[in-house]
Structure 1
Amino acid sequence: MTDPLEKARQIADDVLFPAALAVDATGVIPSGHLDLLAEAGFYGMAAEEVAPAGQAAAARVVETLAGGCLATTFVWMQHHGAVRAVAGSGRPDLIEEWLDPLCRGERRSGVALGALRPGPPSVRATRVGGGYRLDGASPWVTGWGMIDVLHTAARDESDTAIWALVDAVPGPTLGVRPLELVAANASATVEVTFDGHHVPAERVTATLPYAEWGARDAAGLRMNGSFALGVAERAIRLLDPGPYALTAELDACRAALDAATPESLPVARAAASELAMRAATTLTVAAGARSVLRDHHAQRLVREATFLLVFGSRPPIKSALLKLVSHQRATPA
């Protein structure tokens, strides 16, 4: 990719956005959307050699694509955790078998993070001959039916996080329950249940003491803010003329996210989510009664902004967002 951002803009404006209402209405992402992202090289974006410009440049790509179609971008985005894990595994066998196919989008991945939430793990890993046995359930698994493998987290008896590549194929030991989302429902988000599911040792990408997971998680939450910026930017572009104040806020939110430390990131993430909702509701008011019709982008963007108020959240982000919203609420006369 010689100019990833320009390519992302072309795909978002020429392909994703024109189809976004149909994707929202039917609950189905055309396979050509994801194939196009693979052909453009975007499935390998997380690999260092593909995205040498770093996180800020990758974040702009995510933002741009999300402004085209949030559901498509949401499914594609889940893939990158597996790319990073395989590339950083230090295991030549795993890298040789998986890295190139993942980067080319020939193998596509989702992610199952449920076991990493605070409290008792929702998915347990028990060491058995030749690998691990998985038991439990992981909610919010995205892209079912569009992915080949699931980068799955579990925790063992010593509270070590075990990451492994699990084939995304239902069977006697792996069950799936579809979830209905208020927005981006075409992402095919499900709950995955493991019942004595065997994972070979050669599929394990990493192990990490769970006590160390919080710091790593906090450092990686910036990219989720790009979803909100993408929705905000699309709403602002649909306003005619676009209000300068909202455009300036969008630039400021992006700069704050790019510069954020793990300590300042919750406030920056909250500001991005709040801006997405405010931009979408501004578009709704400006468009008038027609904005509540299902064939108008305003209602879709409001629902997507609602979804992004809670997606990828953590307690500090929720706290910052509640504080921000309560401070901006009008005081009765």
Structure 2
Amino acid sequence: QFIVAATLADGQAVFGLVPFQNSEQISFSQPMSLCAMTSTNTVTATLNHWFLPAEKVVSIQPIDWIHQRDQKNALPASFLALGCAKAGLDILETVFEQKKFIFIQDATELLNQELNQCRAIIQKAQQNSNLDIDQKYQLRAWAIDLALRCAHAAVTSSSGGANLSHHHAQRVYREALVFTVSGQNQSLMAATLNRLSRQSSL
């Protein structure tokens, strides 16, 4: 079984259990061809006039439940991106041990300092109940930006080898893409694009 969600006439959201098998009223696509985390075997499901009996109802959420969920998850989800950033830095450290280029070490240290700073600020922000949602999204956008830059640094330091599909740097780079769009809504998209489009002088 799996859980589906639908919007009721009054705007509330209903969640219910549905059998995970093809039938006249339920059909599933083939697993999607994803660029990362392919082990999830993600599919789409199409329901046609499916009746959900009361005993299969998991929960009914209020009209503004999505907004409440976004408020709750805005910062905790940042740590997925920060973990991805750390994975990129681990690759940088490994490459430095192999190539001994000082500029790789310098980049690793600078990015690691920013990672520690970002993590500490987000952890502190989690304790601040007065922090508004826009500030939370700005912090999460910072974590996303950091994941992308650390992953890109891992690719850069790995040279042409990073273009191999099985290379660790490419895996982290693809995962950074996933964490960029995971749980994304319009506000987070805006915060992320604002962060990525900041102008810097040469």
Q: TM-score, normalised by structure 1?
A: 0.50
**Percent of aligned positions that are identical:** 28
The verdict on how the C-alpha distance between 1:231 and 1:198 changes in structure 2, with shifts beyond 3 A counting, is same
Aligned to 2:2: 150
**What are the ranges of 5 or more consecutive residues in structure 1 without an aligned counterpart?**
1-148
Q: Is the 8 A contact 1:271 1:324 kept in 2?
A: yes
Matched, 1:204 2:57: yes
1:12-91 pair list within 5 angstroms = none
1:308 and 2:161 equivalent?
no
Which residue is 1:248 aligned to?
A: 113
1:212 Cα deviation from its structure 2 partner: 4.3
Unaligned runs of 5+ in 2: 97-104
Deviation at 1:197, TM superposition (A): 2.0
1:327 partner SS: coil
Give the structure, 1 or 2, with the largest relative contact order (CA under 8 Å, sep 6 or more): 2
Tell me by how many angstroms 1:215 deviates: 2.3
**Of the candidates 165, 176, 181, which is equivalent to residue 17 of structure 2?**
165
Q: How far apart are the structure 2 equivalents of 1:195 and 1:248?
A: 53
The range that moved more, 164-173 or 288-297, is: 164-173
> Runs of 4+ in structure 1 displaced over 4 angstroms?
none
SS of 1:158's equivalent in the other structure is coil
Which position in structure 2 is the counterpart of 1:180?
33
Q: Take 1:262 and 1:200, find their aligned partners in 2: how far apart are those partners?
A: 39
Q: Deviations 1:282-310 (Å, cap 9, x if unpaired)?
A: 01111111111223111121122122222
Q: How many residues are aligned here?
A: 183
Taking a change above 3 Å as real, the CA distance of residues 192 and 226 of structure 1, as seen in their structure-2 partners, is farther
> Could you report, residue by residue, the CA deviation over 1:257-302 in whole angstroms, capped at 9, with x for unpaired residues?
3324451221121111111110011011111111112231111211
Q: Does 1:214 align with 2:85?
A: no
- Report the CA distance shift for 1:168/1:222 in structure 2 as closer, same or farther (over 3 A): farther
Could you say if the C-alpha distance between residues 232 and 204 of structure 1 is closer, same or farther in structure 2, counting changes exceeding 3 Å? same
Please point out which of 282, 294, 303 is paired with 2:165: 294
Tell me how far apart the structure 2 counterparts of residues 194 and 223 of structure 1 sit (CA, whole Å). Answer: 33
Cα separation, partners in 2 of 1:266 and 1:194, compared to 1, 3 Å = same
1:219–1:262 contact (8 Å) kept in structure 2: no
How much has 1:319 moved relative to structure 2?
0.9
Equivalent residue of 1:196, what SS? Answer: coil
What SS class does the counterpart of residue 77 from structure 2 fall into?
Answer: helix
Bigger strand fraction:
1
